[in-house]
């Protein structure tokens, strides 16, 4: 097992010959090369024997889809059993926090109950991603929205296509058919892939790692910091997470593009969202669409929820019925998202929190509209939209405290400290001018680099809102401008990227899930 | 792929490579290149080479050996260099010159296994300047496993140094090389205790990384017909411990068994007349006075035992050496500003055709600085009472003048440090 994060040199060294081998393969066998490369990647990046877990998942998907095709009678039972096996495996390894925490809680009440400990085996690489891809495949087969893949190895490639094994995105079987297609070498595709990878490196190595230095300093030693230090890390962490996660996805999508494969987008300028609902339509989109299709809609269409909705509708009217059924559907959805992240603090700080925020918005929305109207607020003005975006960002910041803190109690402590920051005893705005930021290990140049990088990211985001991807716009420009833009970005990454001896770029945050 | 696209791709990749090379050149720490560039691009052959860590780096002055004895030599020692790295640097050196003798200092010949006995920065200082060839790759292959960042950290200068964006100085933008022929000669004065030999016992060597590389050096020299001389550059009493002496005795034995010679300076301190009151520049290294004594002895050995010629009348040597001497003098004058205390400044400034003047507020305090009395006697400088307008808020000003026309060559002012009695560039807090 070697250091094989997608920003590591070993990954780059792996990719270059991998692309060459892929395009040298006859078209018919290109998918086999991809599968072979995925195996090589797995053996290099992960503990090799954990591949067994991935194979079990693939086998359950293959066998269950076979039986679902052959029999109508036991389709649901077969699908249920296959999903259960997958979820159980995931729970044993990635969800250990839950059953360890539960056993500890039970133990405190009933001492006879033993406190369980973690299984002393590593989880399979990318388990949280391939497990739910497999579940989606099984459900699609059950719903007959997808054809069964008869070739086990082709199914295996769908689950372990190596770029997405690290940080997603979630792909659907129907949408990933391009992995099986043969294609000609296209230099333009290589350019585009490389450009996207470079942009991902910029976000991760230049921006996210630098912001991380500040955030880690505060979260790493909360007692050593007071006042606006908390506010600073509170406001910066979502930016770090976004630069980190979207940077990793840019690299993954760029690598897939090198092979001529288009993976689903995972972000669409989420920080421009004006409501939390919109935010989640723009953030981790592949997870959002997965839960919508496989949790939210099935729950809303389920018999008990429909019956409950009808009963409430008859008694309290249509609005109440919609609110209750939506509330149930959203609750299941958000609970799943919280659980998927693998910790109680995610269930509270992401799941329940966002469920409450969105439900409150559903309830309060008509009243807010009336207030706006009464106050004569111009809903078309720039400031109105800006305030809505800031509100959405602040809501996100609160959730992110739970993401970043070690445990729920620490998150609450952090939130309390943020509020106290504005009291006379703790208010310390001079930290921004007295050089205290240098304690985080960042120099004045680093601060300038953060600001310039944020502006560049903002520029790219604005272009995407108005014109589409910035690289498409750059591609339309003259050669001097075009080349200069990419060479400058390359130079910035080379100089200001946080890599090299004595410096190990932190793993991508979403690689941990 | 269309030819046009292929052409564009090649051009673009060439630009990428050029950017990377440019950035590497800019960001690389210049220390290694500063000391070794002149060697790698030398215009003469060298009769002798010196290897080792800082003690050797600061104890042998090739320019002094040239001026006084006409010996063409180069000091390839560098701070913290272990003998393992010396071996690879020697291999590279032998591709550039054909010395008659190679001196290896014993200080960093360790007998530990799986230890490089050198720090990360020191390894860089040893090998950064070497061209990327087999010798360097061998050195990198050996050193890479001891440090985070691995081998790539020693091959790609951009990978290793790109984070220096806050440390870039004027020197990083220009090609400055050292005309001291690799040496770093101190002009400060420091008092140390003289060591005494306590044992002749010989430790048994296990053949650890340092010793095994030293054996390779001995073998390489034997094969090439070069005399390999183990030296033990003078140290102070605390360092010359019984344990170190036993290890040194073992190395001496090993050297002699393998046809090498030994000059154990710590056993001939009286013979070379090393003065422990004034011949050290800091706690562990000789200054120019100590270096001259070591060099005088080495010159005697080289010209007596080995038969190295005086090249001062050979234009093949004398022309480039005299040109470099001129540059070396200019460089030393330029470096005067870096001297941190008055004694170091005066000794650094002394040269033929120069007059040095010292101005002070309180002349009775001048001799409070250790070594100043000795310095004034040796240079014949008489402190003069200062005029406030001339030295401002400082306590001492030293002026270096051209004896012929009275023009000022250099000038520096110092603060008096009450607690240490020193005249330094840093004001006491």
- Total count of residues recorded for chain B: 429
Question: What is the per-residue pLDDT for A510?
Answer: 53
Domain count along chain A = 3
Q: Kindly state whether A380 is in contact with chain B, defined as any CB-CB distance less than 8 angstroms.
A: no
Q: Are residues B132 and B15 in the same domain?
A: yes
Q: What is the mean pLDDT of residues B336-348?
A: 93
Structure tokens at A442: 């960042």
Looking at beta carbons, which residues of chain B come within 8 Å of A205?
none
Q: Are residues B259 and B347 in the same domain?
A: no
Q: Kindly state whether A496 is in contact with chain B, defined as any CB-CB distance less than 8 angstroms.
A: yes
- If we measure between CA atoms, which residue out of A183, A156, A206 comes closest to residue A35? A156
Contact by Cβ (8 Å): A57, A128: no
Question: What is the per-residue pLDDT for A509?
Answer: 56
Distance (Å) from the alpha carbon of A45 to chain B's nearest alpha carbon: 18
Q: Kindly state whether B268 is in contact with chain A, defined as any CB-CB distance less than 8 angstroms.
A: no
- Cβ of A501 and B12 within 8 Å? no
Distances (CA, A) of B176 to A99, B34, B377: 65, 6, 35
Identify the closest residue of chain B to A10 by CA–CA distance. Answer: B152
Residue at B429 is within a domain:
no
Backbone angles phi, psi at B103, to 5 degrees: -105, 130
Residue at B300 is within a domain:
yes
Distance (Å) from the alpha carbon of B207 to chain A's nearest alpha carbon: 30
Among the partner residues A185, A483, A500, nearest to B162 by beta-carbon distance: A500
Q: Which residues of B8-42 are buried (b: 16+ CB within 10 A; e: fewer)?
A: eeeebeeeeeebbeebbebbbbbbbbbbbbbbeeb
- Cβ of A491 and B27 within 8 Å? no
Q: Are residues A368 and A321 in the same domain?
A: yes
Residue at A485 is within a domain:
yes
- If we measure between CA atoms, which residue out of B255, B290, B78, B28 comes closest to residue B180? B78
Q: Are residues B319 and B347 in the same domain?
A: no
Domain end, chosen from B300, B330, B360, is at B330
CB pairs under 8 A between A and B: 55
Q: Are residues B200 and B139 in the same domain?
A: yes
Whole-angstrom distance, CA of residue A308 vs CA of residue A320: 11
Q: Are residues A30 and A70 in the same domain?
A: yes
Structure tokens at B287: 């200054």
Domain end, chosen from A369, A404, A439, is at A404
- Cβ of A501 and B19 within 8 Å? no
Long-range Cβ pairs for the range B410-416 (8 Å, 24+) = B410/B333, B410/B336, B410/B337, B410/B349, B412/B336, B412/B337, B412/B339, B412/B345, B414/B341, B414/B342, B414/B345, B416/B362, B416/B365
Backbone angles phi, psi at B115, to 5 degrees: -135, 135
Give strand pairing partners of B411. Answer: B399
Is a pLDDT exceeding 80 seen at residue B391? no
Q: Which among A480, A492, A500 is the top mutation candidate for probing chain B, defined by the most B β-carbons within 10 Å of its own β-carbon?
A: A500
Residue at A1 is within a domain:
no
Distances (CA, A) of B31 to B122, B279, B406: 10, 26, 35
Residue at A154 is within a domain:
yes
Domain end, chosen from A135, A152, A181, is at A181
Q: Kindly state whether A483 is in contact with chain B, defined as any CB-CB distance less than 8 angstroms.
A: yes
Q: Kindly state whether A187 is in contact with chain B, defined as any CB-CB distance less than 8 angstroms.
A: yes
Domain end, chosen from B330, B358, B387, is at B330
Residue at A135 is within a domain:
yes
ipTM of the complex: 0.83
Q: Position of tokens 């250091």?
A: A3
Looking at beta carbons, which residues of chain A come within 8 Å of B161?
500
Q: Kindly state whether B163 is in contact with chain A, defined as any CB-CB distance less than 8 angstroms.
A: yes
Q: Are residues A393 and A466 in the same domain?
A: no
Distance (Å) from the alpha carbon of B214 to chain A's nearest alpha carbon: 28
Sheet containing strand B422-424, strands side by side: B384-385, B354-360, B396-402, B408-417, B422-424
Domain that holds residue B373: 339-424
Q: Are residues B173 and B46 in the same domain?
A: yes
Q: Kindly state whether A497 is in contact with chain B, defined as any CB-CB distance less than 8 angstroms.
A: yes
Residue at B1 is within a domain:
no
Question: What is the per-residue pLDDT for B392?
Answer: 79
Distance (Å) from the alpha carbon of B118 to chain A's nearest alpha carbon: 16
Q: Are residues A129 and A67 in the same domain?
A: yes
- Cβ of B148 and A502 within 8 Å? yes
Q: Kindly state whether B164 is in contact with chain A, defined as any CB-CB distance less than 8 angstroms.
A: no
Domain that holds residue A273: 268-404
Q: Are residues B298 and B383 in the same domain?
A: no
Q: Are residues B255 and B217 in the same domain?
A: yes
Residue at B320 is within a domain:
yes
Q: Kindly state whether A9 is in contact with chain B, defined as any CB-CB distance less than 8 angstroms.
A: yes
Q: Are residues A47 and A165 in the same domain?
A: yes
Q: Say if residue B362 is preceded by a cis peptide, omega within 30 of 0.
A: no
Return residues 8-67 of B near A (CB < 8 Å): 9, 12, 15-16, 19-20, 23, 27
Looking at beta carbons, which residues of chain B come within 8 Å of A497?
162
Tens of pLDDT, residue by residue over A31-42, are 999 999 999 999
Residue at A41 is within a domain:
yes
- Cβ-in-10-Å burial (0-12, 13-18, 19+) of B116 comes to buried
Q: Are residues A75 and A13 in the same domain?
A: yes
Structure tokens at B248: 């040194």
Q: Are residues B321 and B393 in the same domain?
A: no
Identify the closest residue of chain B to A185 by CA–CA distance. Answer: B1
- Cβ of B162 and A495 within 8 Å? yes
Question: What is the per-residue pLDDT for A71?
Answer: 85
- Cβ of B23 and A497 within 8 Å? no
Q: Are residues B343 and B322 in the same domain?
A: no
Q: Kindly state whether A26 is in contact with chain B, defined as any CB-CB distance less than 8 angstroms.
A: no
Structure tokens at A101: 């925490």
Whole-angstrom distance, CA of residue A243 vs CA of residue A209: 9
Q: Residues near B365 by Cβ (< 8 Å), separated by ≥ 6?
A: B395, B416, B421
Domain count along chain B = 2
Residue-level pLDDT, tens digit, chain A, 513 residues:
566 778 888 888 899 999 999 999 999 999 999 999 999 999 988 888 889 999 999 999 999 999 999 888 889 999 999 999 999 999 898 888 888 988 999 999 999 989 988 888 888 788 989 999 999 999 999 999 999 999 999 999 999 999 988 887 888 999 999 999 999 999 999 999 999 999 999 999 999 999 999 999 999 888 888 888 999 999 999 999 999 999 999 999 999 999 999 999 999 999 999 999 999 999 999 999 999 999 999 999 999 999 999 999 999 999 899 999 999 999 999 999 999 888 888 889 999 999 999 999 989 988 988 998 898 888 889 999 999 999 999 999 999 999 999 889 999 999 999 999 888 888 888 888 887 877 888 888 999 999 999 999 999 999 998 888 899 999 999 999 999 999 999 999 999 999 887 655 555 555 555
Whole-angstrom distance, CA of residue B362 vs CA of residue B383: 10
Whole-angstrom distance, CA of residue B243 vs CA of residue B235: 14
SS (H, E, C) A381-415: CHHHHHHHHHHHHHHHHHHHHHHHCCCHHHHHHHH
Question: What is the per-residue pLDDT for A46?
Answer: 86
- Cβ of A500 and B160 within 8 Å? yes
Q: Are residues B215 and B72 in the same domain?
A: yes
Q: Are residues A42 and A156 in the same domain?
A: yes
Among the partner residues A443, A483, A494, nearest to B158 by beta-carbon distance: A494
Q: Which among A213, A474, A494 is the top mutation candidate for probing chain B, defined by the most B β-carbons within 10 Å of its own β-carbon?
A: A494
Q: Kindly state whether B383 is in contact with chain A, defined as any CB-CB distance less than 8 angstroms.
A: no
Whole-angstrom distance, CA of residue B296 vs CA of residue B268: 13
Residue at B54 is within a domain:
yes
Question: What is the per-residue pLDDT for A504?
Answer: 53
Long-range Cβ pairs for the range A289-293 (8 Å, 24+) = A289/A170, A289/A264, A290/A132, A290/A136, A290/A170, A291/A333, A291/A336, A291/A337, A292/A333, A293/A136
Residue at A513 is within a domain:
no
Q: Are residues A30 and A141 in the same domain?
A: yes
CA A492 to chain CA centroid, nearest Å:
26
Q: Are residues A378 and A500 in the same domain?
A: no
Q: Are residues A272 and A375 in the same domain?
A: yes
Q: Are residues A174 and A200 in the same domain?
A: no
- If we measure between CA atoms, which residue out of A326, A131, A499 comes closest to residue B161? A499
Distances (CA, A) of B125 to A226, B33, B36, B128: 42, 8, 9, 6
Residue at A2 is within a domain:
no
Q: Are residues A146 and A193 in the same domain?
A: no
Distance (Å) from the alpha carbon of B80 to chain A's nearest alpha carbon: 19
Distance (Å) from the alpha carbon of A480 to chain B's nearest alpha carbon: 11
Whole-angstrom distance, CA of residue A364 vs CA of residue A370: 10
Domain end, chosen from B276, B305, B330, is at B330
Bridge-based pairing of strands B422-424 and B396-402 is unpaired
Q: Are residues B168 and B287 in the same domain?
A: yes
Residue B243 sits in a domain whose CATH number is 3.40.50.1110
Q: Kindly state whether A502 is in contact with chain B, defined as any CB-CB distance less than 8 angstroms.
A: yes
- Total count of residues recorded for chain A: 513
Domain end, chosen from A148, A181, A214, is at A181
Give strand pairing partners of B231. Answer: B105, B263
Residue at A74 is within a domain:
yes
Q: Are residues B320 and B344 in the same domain?
A: no
Round the average pLDDT of chain B to a whole number and report it: 93
Residue at B165 is within a domain:
yes
Question: What is the per-residue pLDDT for A377?
Answer: 86
Residue at B3 is within a domain:
no
- Cβ-in-10-Å burial (0-12, 13-18, 19+) of A459 comes to exposed
């Amino acid at each position: 097992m070697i250091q094989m994060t997608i920003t590591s040199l070993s990954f780059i060294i792996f990719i270059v010959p991998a692309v060459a081998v892929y395009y040298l393969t006859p078209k018919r066998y290109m998918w086999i090369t991809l599968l072979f490369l995925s195996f090589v990647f797995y053996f290099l990046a992960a503990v090799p024997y954990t591949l067994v877990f991935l194979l079990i998942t693939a086998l359950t998907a293959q066998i269950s889809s076979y039986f679902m095709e052959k029999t109508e009678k036991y389709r649901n039972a077969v699908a249920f059993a296959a999903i259960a096996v997958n979820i159980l495996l995931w729970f044993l390894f990635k969800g250990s926090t839950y059953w360890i925490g539960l056993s500890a809680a039970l133990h405190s009440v009933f001492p006879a109950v033993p406190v369980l400990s973690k299984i002393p085996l590593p989880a399979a690489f990318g388990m949280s991603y391939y497990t739910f891809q497999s579940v989606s495949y099984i459900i699609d087969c059950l719903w007959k929205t997808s054809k069964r893949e008869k070739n086990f190895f082709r199914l295996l490639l769908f689950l372990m296509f190596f770029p997405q094994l690290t940080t997603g995105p979630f792909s659907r079987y129907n949408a990933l058919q391009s992995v099986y297609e043969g294609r000609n070498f296209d230099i333009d595709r290589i350019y585009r892939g490389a450009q996207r990878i470079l942009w991902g490196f910029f976000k991760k190595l230049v921006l996210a790692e630098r912001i991380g230095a500040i955030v880690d300093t505060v979260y790493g030693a909360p007692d050593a910091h007071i006042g606006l230090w908390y506010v600073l890390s509170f406001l910066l962490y979502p930016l770090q997470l976004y630069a980190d996660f979207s940077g990793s996805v840019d690299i993954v999508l760029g690598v897939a593009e090198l092979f001529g494969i288009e993976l689903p987008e995972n972000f669409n300028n989420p920080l421009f969202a004006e409501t939390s609902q919109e935010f989640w339509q723009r953030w981790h989109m592949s997870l959002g669409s997965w839960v919508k299709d496989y949790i939210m809609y099935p729950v809303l269409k389920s018999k008990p929820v429909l019956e409950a909705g009808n009963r409430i509708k008859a008694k309290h009217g249509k609005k109440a019925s919609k609110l209750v059924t939506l509330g149930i559907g959203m609750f299941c959805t958000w609970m799943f998202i919280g659980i998927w992240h693998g910790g109680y603090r995610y269930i509270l700080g992401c799941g329940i929190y966002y469920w409450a925020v969105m439900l409150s918005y559903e309830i309060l929305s008509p009243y807010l509209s009336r207030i706006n109207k009464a106050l004569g607020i111009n809903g078309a003005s720039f400031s109105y939209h800006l305030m809505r975006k800031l509100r959405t960002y602040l809501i996100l910041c609160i959730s992110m405290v739970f993401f970043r803190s070690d445990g729920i109690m620490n998150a609450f402590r952090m939130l309390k400290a943020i509020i106290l920051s504005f009291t006379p005893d703790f208010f310390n705005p001079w930290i921004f001018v007295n050089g205290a930021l240098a304690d985080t290990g960042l120099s004045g140049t680093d601060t300038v680099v953060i600001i310039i990088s944020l502006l560049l990211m903002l520029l790219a985001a604005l272009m995407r809102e108005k014109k589409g991807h910035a690289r498409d716009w750059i591609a339309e420009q003259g050669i001097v401008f075009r080349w200069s833009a990419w060479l400058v970005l390359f130079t910035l990454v080379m100089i200001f990227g946080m890599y090299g001896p004595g410096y190990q770029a932190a793993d991508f945050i979403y690689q941990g899930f | 792929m269309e030819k046009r696209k292929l052409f564009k791709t090649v051009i673009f990749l060439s630009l990428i490579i050029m950017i990377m090379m440019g950035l590497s050149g800019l960001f690389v720490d210049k220390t290694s290149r500063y000391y070794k560039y002149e060697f790698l691009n030398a215009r003469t052959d060298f009769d002798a080479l010196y290897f080792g860590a800082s003690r050797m780096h600061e104890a042998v002055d090739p320019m002094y050996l040239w001026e006084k004895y006409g010996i063409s030599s180069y000091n390839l020692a560098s701070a913290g260099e272990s003998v393992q790295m010396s071996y690879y640097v020697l291999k590279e050196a032998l591709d550039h010159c054909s010395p008659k003798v190679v001196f290896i200092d014993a200080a960093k010949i360790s007998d530990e296994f799986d230890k490089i006995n050198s720090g990360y920065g020191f390894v860089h200082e040893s090998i950064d300047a070497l061209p990327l060839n087999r010798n360097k790759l061998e050195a990198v292959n050996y050193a890479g496993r001891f440090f985070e960042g691995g081998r790539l950290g020693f091959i790609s200068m951009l990978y290793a140094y790109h984070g220096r964006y806050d440390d870039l100085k004027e020197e990083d933008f220009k090609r400055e090389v050292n005309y001291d022929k690799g040496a770093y000669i101190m002009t400060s004065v420091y008092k140390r205790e003289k060591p005494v030999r306590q044992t002749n016992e010989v430790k048994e060597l296990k053949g650890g990384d340092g010793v095994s590389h030293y054996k390779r050096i001995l073998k390489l020299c034997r094969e090439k017909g070069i005399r390999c001389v183990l030296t033990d550059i003078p140290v102070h009493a605390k360092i010359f411990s019984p344990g170190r002496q036993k290890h040194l005795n073992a190395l001496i034995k090993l050297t002699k068994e393998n046809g090498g010679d030994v000059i154990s300076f710590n056993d001939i301190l009286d013979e070379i007349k090393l003065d422990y009151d004034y011949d050290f520049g800091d706690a562990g290294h000789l200054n120019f006075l100590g270096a001259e004594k070591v060099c005088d002895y080495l010159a005697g050995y080289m010209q007596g035992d080995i038969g190295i010629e005086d090249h001062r009348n050979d234009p093949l040597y004398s022309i480039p050496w005299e040109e470099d001497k001129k540059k070396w003098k200019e460089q030393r004058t330029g470096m005067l500003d870096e001297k941190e205390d008055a004694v170091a400044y005066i000794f650094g400034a002394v040269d033929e055709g120069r007059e040095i003047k010292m101005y002070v507020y309180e002349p009775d305090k001048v001799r409070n600085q250790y070594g100043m009395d000795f310095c004034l006697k040796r240079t014949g400088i008489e402190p003069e009472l200062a005029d406030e307008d001339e030295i401002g808020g400082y306590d001492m000003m030293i002026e270096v003048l051209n004896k012929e026309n009275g023009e000022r060559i250099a000038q520096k002012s110092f603060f008096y440090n009450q607690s240490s009695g020193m005249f330094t560039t840093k004001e006491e807090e």
